[in-house]
Amino acid sequence: MGYNVNDHFFYLYTNTNSIIMNNEIAIIETLIKAGIPLKTGEISEILNINKKDVDKAIKDLKK
C-alpha cells in the first residue's frame, strides 16, 4: 500500500492536542488537503493555532 497524504493529514489533524508537530508541516498538509489557496486566518482556524504562528511558519517556509 502506498503513502496517502490525506490519511496522514487526518491523523495529525485529529491528534493535534496529543502530539507535538511542526507548524510548517501542518500548514503544508492543510494546503494540500484543502486543494485551494487559503488565507493565514483560515489556516489558523483549521489547525486551531495562533495566526501569528501561521504567519511566522509561512515566512520560514519562504526562505
Domain ranges of the chain: 5-62
What is the pLDDT at residue 31?
A: 92
Q: What is the pLDDT of residues 4-48, one digit of tens each?
A: 555 555 555 555 444 445 788 889 989 999 999 999 999 999 999
What is the pLDDT at residue 24?
A: 86
Banded model confidence at residue 51, pLDDT cuts 50, 70, 90: very high
**pTM for the structure as a whole:** 0.64
Please enumerate in sequence order all residues whose Cβ is within 8 A of that of 26, keeping only pairs 6 or more positions apart, or say none: 12, 13, 16, 47, 49
What is the pLDDT at residue 6?
A: 53
